[in-house]
Amino acid sequence: MDNLTQLRKLGLFDARVPRYTSYPTAPHFAGGIGGETVSNWIRAIPDGSQISLYLHVPFCRRLCWFCACRTQGTSTLSPVEAYVDSLTQELAALKKTLPEGITISHLHWGGGTPTLLDPTMIDRLSRAIFDAAPLGDGAQFSVEIDPNEIDDARMDALVAAGLNRASLGVQDFDPMIQEVIGRPQSFEITKAAVDGLRARGVPSLNIDLLYGLPHQTRARMTDSVKKVISLKPDRIALFGYAHVPWMARRQSLIPTEALPSPEDRLELYSLSRDLFVADGYDEIGIDHFSRPEDGLATAQKNGTMRRNFQGYTEDSAEVLIGLGASSISRFPQGYAQNAPATSAYQERVRAGQFATSRGHAFTGYDILRGRVIEALLCDFEADLPAIARGLGEDPATALALADGLAETLPGTVSLDDGVLSIRPDARPLARIIARYFDAYEMNEAGHSQAV
């Protein structure tokens, strides 16, 4: 049986599985976790620790049809300004609650379009953040940048605030595909943003690219990948387009009949991977690439790479605090998510409270299962006894989680001395294998295709 037939047989082309940027995944969050719980979890952070902050800006000037992000369109800056007021209120509440001597190891602004913020807002917001917790030595400050929504003044303001890592959304450079997905963006505009950031000394750039878009062919994908390579990004995230119009209504504008088949998606991914690798990029986990000298490649080689809501990271902080509407925080005790609707979020923070509306307190073997899943998706292997011992659990418990896996997904894994390894030709199945360690019921409709 050839490898494609084997991958098909094991469900790669039919399955919908989580991306596992958290475990349990967000659909399993529930009520019962509120502002008081979050206050207690924040107070329990040891004095002098490093934490990470994620700040969500749920506004865009345009709403791209392919995008399933939680964001709203705006043609003026007044709702954005009011939202920045709310973020500063939330930061003031955080400052009051944080223990002594906390510094930030990773700060990320995502969205939506954080670069909608004008220079005054960028300055105000960054001051409020660093008043709550300053950046620690060697900290990373990254921002998602829409090349259509950035100019010299905003780049200057971001760099003055400490930006040292930028992530640019591209998706695809083909004008016809851009039209069909509702996101026009010329190569020249993207290059101008890249050049502007580099000229200001931003040392690390990431580009997001999508495979599986309508009308993507081998030739068009090759052309987009070559254009990306010509910009010499330090990292590339190559995500599969998730077509879920029943969840993201604007995706119903995307012509379903023009979407590549699952087999074509695998081919588009594979050819892109080959081009990146041939150009000297290291393959990172299931969907990232980085220059060998980049910190992510180093973390992968050292076995210290982690997976969080932004994807792969070298950040080792145990606490990630999400600020803004719908943001998710992770604590050693569990997850907490802010109210998704901007109005509800703003109402809560205006009253001086944390805006937590739901979450999940870890229970049973959640942490153990989560670590195994994370290891499989970061390293394609999991040292089950070592993971268990690191968490104070019995190694036999971790080994038992893998019982039956080799029979359920034959030929995909090996188990030697407790180290579970995904075979190289079964790596496209990594999320399906990870799913084996997920104890929660899954509604497939809420997840993306396995390839």
Residues that bind ligand SF4 (CB under 6 A): 60, 62-64, 67, 69, 71, 111-113, 146, 169, 183
- Nearer Cβ to ligand SF4, position 63 or 92? 63
- Closest contact distance (angstroms) between CB of 391 and ligand SF4 is 36
3-state DSSP call for residue 416?
A: strand
- Nearer Cβ to ligand SF4, position 74 or 105? 74
- Nearer Cβ to ligand SF4, position 56 or 360? 56
445: number of Cβ within 10 Å? 9
- Closest contact distance (angstroms) between CB of 96 and ligand SF4 is 31
- Nearer Cβ to ligand SF4, position 180 or 430? 180
3-state DSSP call for residue 347?
A: helix
CA pair distance 295, 204, nearest whole angstrom: 10
- Nearer Cβ to ligand SF4, position 113 or 164? 113
> Are the beta carbons of 168 and 206 closer than 8 angstroms?
yes
CA pair distance 387, 375, nearest whole angstrom: 9
- Listed in sequence order, the residues at least 6 apart from 115 whose beta carbon sits closer than 8 Å to its beta carbon are 143, 144, 145, 146, 149, 150, 154, 158
CA pair distance 355, 94, nearest whole angstrom: 11
- Closest contact distance (angstroms) between CB of 323 and ligand SF4 is 17
- Closest contact distance (angstroms) between CB of 49 and ligand SF4 is 31
> Are the beta carbons of 367 and 435 closer than 8 angstroms?
no
- Nearer Cβ to ligand SF4, position 77 or 419? 77
CA pair distance 296, 209, nearest whole angstrom: 18
> Are the beta carbons of 421 and 380 closer than 8 angstroms?
yes
- Nearer Cβ to ligand SF4, position 58 or 334? 58
The alpha carbons of the chain give a radius of gyration, in whole angstroms, of 21
Q: Closest Cα partner for 35 from 363, 367, 351, 362?
A: 351
364: number of Cβ within 10 Å? 8
- Closest contact distance (angstroms) between CB of 242 and ligand SF4 is 13
- Regarding beta strands 288-290 and 306-308, do their DSSP bridges make them parallel or antiparallel, or are they unpaired? unpaired
- Closest contact distance (angstroms) between CB of 440 and ligand SF4 is 28
CA-CA distances (angstroms) from residue 133 to 84, 106, 342, 345, 410? 17, 11, 24, 22, 49
- Nearer Cβ to ligand SF4, position 62 or 191? 62
- Nearer Cβ to ligand SF4, position 62 or 273? 62
Q: What is the DSSP letter of 46?
A: P
- Nearer Cβ to ligand SF4, position 146 or 383? 146
- Closest contact distance (angstroms) between CB of 65 and ligand SF4 is 8
Q: What is the DSSP letter of 148?
A: G
Q: Which residues of 130-161 are buried (b: 16+ CB within 10 A; e: fewer)?
A: bebbebbeebbbbbbbbbbbbeeebbebbbeb
- Closest contact distance (angstroms) between CB of 380 and ligand SF4 is 30
- Closest contact distance (angstroms) between CB of 341 and ligand SF4 is 17
- Closest contact distance (angstroms) between CB of 115 and ligand SF4 is 9
